Structure 1
Amino acid sequence: MEGESQTDEAPARMSSLTSKLQAMIRIRRKYQVFKARRAELAREQSRTAMLHHGSTGPEIFTFETTAAGTAANPCVCRRKKKRKSRVMFPNSGRKYLPVQERNRAKSCLFLLSIIVFLQVYNAIENLDDHLQKYDLEGLEKTLKREVFGQKAAMENIIDLLTDYLSTYVHNKPLVLSLNGPIGVGKSHLGRILARHFRSVTRDQLVLQYFMLHHCPLEEKATMCTQDLASRITEMVNRGESEERIPVFIFDEVEFMHKEILDFLHSCFQANQTNEFLNAVYVLISNIGQGEITKFVLQNSSSSAPFGRQRGSHELVKQLKASLSKYHPVWKEADIVPFSLLEKAHIMDCFLDEMTQEGFYPDSSHIEHLAGEISYYTAGDKEYSMNGCKQVVAKVNLL
């Protein structure tokens, strides 16, 4: 049985192989026939081309050859793809791109930027020129040399004066309130300010008003108010004509009568004529000394209690609330608190006073005199209870 099955499979395989060979032979024959036809067509075309080139007679354009060629060779006639025509430029010419229209808005914006820059530069130059009239750099040097232990207060005052005096036109007068315990240098600072502004402007533009000297009696408060109003009006009018800012320094404000405080409060408002808006008012008093003393003693661990921005801001806010209860005139003021003086500052006061009086500044003697003054003790620091108030009296006893 196995032999019979093998003999049946052999003729089937042979029949499949012969059919494939026959198909391959047929394809090869067709290819050779097609190749021969193509060769004959190519030879005929070359012959016709040679006949046309060899003729000497005139060439006449007819459609017979093309028609015959198309009839004889239907496969040769193929449509040629049209090439896109190129725009050719001459070698000696120039290629001109499309002209872009110039945007006028850019030139206007550029011109506007230049104008704004010149205006800002001119304004800065004018600020410097206006500040030179008051010589605030010289004032700062004097304060550093003659006022002891109030570095933060001096820097604050110079910053406020610089910002205000840099321009002449304002919408509100500058009001400085110098508050602190007795003997810490408030009145001394007032005298320095009066002396400085009298030297850089004129004596007619500076008023130094001592309450206990100019108006000690309350029954004369109305007369004092009228006199003060006429002097302020005269000074601001003179300052307006000379384009300078007058300075008013009021000392011992804690003794000032309510009628005068009400008049000053009206002068500090913004809804006034132009000449009253360009003025500097300095109020010197020891109102709020309890809050300042408590703040300094509680923050004695810090090297500069008023130098810390957060703590100083809290103290100013507390002082403004208590002073506004005393009178609303302090609502319009920039409050500058003065700190307690340490023992080293008291020794500087003794050294300065003894030098002015012509005494030999012996350090051991100065330390002995400074030890006779009463102090607050907070941690490892000592703060004078009366500041430098007793320094002059003790030096006069030498």
Structure 2
Amino acid sequence: MNSGKFVLLFFLLPFVTVEAGFFDFLERFYCRCDFDGFYDINRILSDKDDLQHFDSEELKKDLRKSLYGQHIAMKTIQKAVSCFMKDSNPTKPLVLSFHGPPGVGKSYVTKIIARNIYKKGEKSKHVHTFMTDYYFPHKDRARIYQTQLREWIHGNVSCFPHSMFIFDEINKISSELIDTIKPFLDYNPQVDGVSFNKAIFIFISNSEMNAITNLTLDFWREGRDREEIQITSRGLETQITQNIYNDEKGGFWHSSLIDQHLIDHFIPFLPLELKHVRQCVLSEMAHLNMTEDFDLADKVARDMPFFPPEEKIFAVKGCKSVRQKLALYADD
């Protein structure tokens, strides 16, 4: 490590306390490119082989095969990711924000994206997922988290420009922490000598699930087809943007990311119906090498809780717990 990095390290030390985890911070600083140890230039260069040839049609097929009941997300993600990956000189990173109820595919679709970009898919060392409760548990340590987050993202992108960063439960992160990464998402040729324009940032949140669910329920009650719902239907995307911007408890409260229009797409994920849960059960059967059984799939799906109480249209947990529920019937 050159002297410049040591100077930066000791400049940052006053912001770090033993209580906050000095050794944890030290490890993050030294291992920005690899959790396993110090910089290894040979490994860094060989890791570039993890970026596979991107095929837009393969991504479309994968989304259609693996994502259930999410026509808006499927169409938007396919076009956004494809255009970005085909651009040899993008002017900014790709920034997506997923919103909707739990269990509807928001986290799962990040795996689909990853396996169409990296040979190792979600297991690639260039796919970084930040779980709010685990990585940023203490609100009083926001300043330390800001320093760590900036260094971690900057270091990884400097090693691998096509890195992917996923922030799960963004509604639980402080807006100050999120705004820390604003320079990385902006139209900047470089930040501290590094270009971030080939990176991908994805935010995942259960926020606005009520607005999305209510719109979907309105379409159902009006006898309209679910696929008629579009991202612009009744100002859905605008409503999502305005609501999260004004939510004092959310990560995007008065965020500069929204002010400066740095999030490329706010993507709603709709609540799942019985037919979608049934598809999830069949998928789990295949994953567990079980014989495909449509009657059993229907039985498991119907055993899941649904709402509203009168109509029982949407799965309360989406496809979460489907595997656990299937296990109860596996030996029947």
- Name the TM-score, length of structure 1 as normaliser: 0.59
Tell me the equivalent position of 1:304. 226
**Structure 1 pair 166/260, CA: closer, same or farther in 2 (3 Å)?**
same
Q: Distance in 2 between matches of 1:343 and 1:205?
A: 36
Asked if structure 2 preserves the Cα contact closer than 8 Å seen for 1:197 and 1:206, the reply is no
Q: Report if the CA contact (8 A) 2:52-2:119 is conserved.
A: no
1:332 maps to which of 248, 258, 262: 262
C-alpha distance in structure 2 between counterparts of 1:249 and 1:181, whole Å: 18
- Against the structure 1 CA distance between its residues 247 and 136, is the aligned structure 2 distance closer, same or farther, given a 3 Å change threshold? farther
Q: Distance in 2 between matches of 1:132 and 1:359?
A: 31
Aligned pair partner of 1:194 in 111, 114, 132: 114
- The equivalences for 1:336-355 within 5 A come to 336-355=267-286
1:1-398 superposed matches below 5 A: 133-199=53-119, 203-240=124-161, 245-271=162-188, 273=190, 275-300=195-220, 301-305=223-227, 307-308=229-230, 310-311=232-233, 314-326=235-247, 327=252, 328=255, 329-330=257-258, 331-333=261-263, 334-376=265-307, 382-398=313-329
Deviation at 1:391, TM superposition (A): 1.0
Deviation at 1:380, TM superposition (A): 8.0
Q: Are the equivalent residues in 2 in contact too, given 1:194–1:208 (CA < 8 A)? A: no
Q: Would you say the 8 A contact 1:194–1:249 is kept in 2?
A: no
Unpaired runs of 5+ in structure 1?
1-130
Query: Of the two, which has the highest radius of gyration?
Result: 1
Q: Provide closer, same or farther for how the CA distance between residues 203 and 310 of structure 1 changes in structure 2, counting only shifts above 3 A.
A: closer
The Cα shift of 1:305 comes to 4.7
| Aligned pairs, number | 263
Letter aligned with residue 247 of structure 1: M
Higher share in helix: 1
User: Deviation string for 1:41-97 (max 9, x for gaps)?
Assistant: xxxxxxxxxxxxxxxxxxxxxxxxxxxxxxxxxxxxxxxxxxxxxxxxxxxxxxxxx
Kindly provide the CA deviation profile for residues 206-231 of structure 1, in whole angstroms up to 9, marking residues without a partner as x. 32222223333334433333222122
Q: Match for 2:179: what amino acid?
A: D
Q: Distance in 2 between matches of 1:192 and 1:350?
A: 18
Structure 2 SS opposite 1:221:
helix
RMSD value over aligned CA atoms?
2.8
Residue 282 of structure 1 aligns to a residue whose secondary structure is: strand
Q: 1:352 to 1:204 in 2, by over 3 A?
A: closer
Distance 1:275 1:188, change over 3 A: same
Contact map agreement 2:216 2:226 (CA 8 A) in 1: no
Paired-residue identity, %: 27
Deviations 1:295-342 (A, max 9, x none): 111111222355446517x11111111122232234421101111111
- 2:29 paired residue number: none
Gaps in structure 2 of 5+ consecutive residues = 1-50
Could you tell me whether the CA contact under 8 Å between 2:72 and 2:230 is conserved in 1? no
| 1:335 counterpart letter in structure 2 | F
Asked which structure has the greater RCO (Cα within 8 Å, sep 6+), the reply is 2
